Amino acid sequence: MPKPSPEGAEILVRAHAAGVTGDELTWPELYETASRIPGHELSGNIAELGPDYTGNLSIGQDVYAFTSADRGQCQAEYVACLPDEVAPKPTCISHLEAAALPIPVLTAWEAIIDQGEITPGMTVLVTGASGAVGVNAVQLVTQLTGAHVIALASLRNHENLKQLGAEVLNYNDPGWASTIGGVDVVIDAVGGSILSDAWKVVAEHGMIITVADPPPPWALGDAVPEDSFRMPGVRYKYFIVSHNAERLCRASEMVEAGALKALAVKSFPFTEAEQAWKCARQRGRGHKVVVEF
């Protein structure tokens, strides 16, 4: 394919690494455009700036980015990004680690601030808390809101989650849902029976947010959760993450300050991209998959 040329205010990024999020294959926006270049997150350096660009980024600068759900195209050597998709890369982590951050960080941030409107004094349950989205949600709930966070994860991940400030529950314990209640906001990254159990612990006027893959039947508005008839005061929401360069800038600063930890990654060369996608679709990996260029 030809190397793209940045138009208008676009930023052409030479990709060093691109994150692989298997769940993005379920995003309906992905299929609204003709492009079939996958990937929505990358880390690299700026190769060119469009003629109308007036921002603060410069050629040669290391950046990371999340391209909007209907655009993608990040798993290529050169990617034309919009100004509100790109932010300075944290200098203290590698391109591989930086490429793994945008989707998990922005998803967690949007769930906490925009969807859940979480404030101090609330209790928040994060399911799949050791996964990429979950572990970022645990950290950001504490850092951004000061709310009390409960992390649902396997026993082997409990010590790390405790160090991040969370109360922990073991999702392999069949009775975990009976040990808590009155949760103001549930941030679910698992789905299935775990999402069903969330209705047992959520407060009467609480909220359940899910970004699970596959999404629940009600995700696109074609149905309603059966439990909503029993608990009509509970709000429920499924969403696809939005790009936000300002939040990526703040996340970069938090990583630099040690307030947000980089994810463990497993990298594949571009020639093994198919294997990378297969790996990214597996559960319980303990790392984020990245393609290296």
pLDDT tens-digit profile of 211-221?
Answer: 998 899 999 88
Q: Quote the radius of gyration of the chain (alpha carbons, Å).
A: 19
Low pLDDT (below 50) residues in the chain: none
pLDDT of amino acid 89: 99
> What's the mean pLDDT when you consider all of the chain?
94
Backbone angles phi, psi at 198, to 5 degrees: -60, -30
Domain 11-101+262-292 has CATH 3.40.50.1370: no
Backbone angles phi, psi at 205, to 5 degrees: -120, 35
pLDDT of amino acid 29: 60
Domain edges within the chain? 11-101+262-292, 104-238
pLDDT in tens, 122-152: 999 999 999 999 999 999 999 999 999 999 9
pLDDT of amino acid 282: 79
pLDDT of amino acid 15: 97
Closest residue by Cα to residue 211 from 107, 67, 130, 140: 107
Q: Would you say 238 and 217 are in contact if contact means Cβ atoms under 8 Å apart?
A: no
Range 176-184, long-range pairs (CB < 8 A, 24+ positions): 176/152, 177/201, 180/125, 180/150, 182/123, 182/206, 183/123, 183/124, 183/125, 183/150, 184/118, 184/122, 184/123, 184/124, 184/147
11-101+262-292 and 104-238: identical CATH topology? no
CA-CA-CA-CA torsion sign (263, 243, 20, 145) = positive
pLDDT in tens, 26-50: 666 655 666 667 889 999 999 999 9
Q: CATH assignment of 104-238, given 2.40.50.140, 3.40.50.720, 3.40.1080.10, 3.40.630.10?
A: 3.40.50.720
- The gap between the terminal CA atoms of the chain, to the nearest Å, is 15
Q: Would you say 53 and 3 are in contact if contact means Cβ atoms under 8 Å apart?
A: no
pLDDT of amino acid 39: 86
Q: Which residues pair with 290 in a beta bridge?
A: 19, 267
Sheet with 235-238, side-by-side order of all strands: 167-170, 148-153, 123-127, 183-188, 202-210, 235-238
pLDDT of amino acid 71: 80
Proportion of the chain above pLDDT 70, given as a percent: 95
pLDDT of amino acid 35: 65
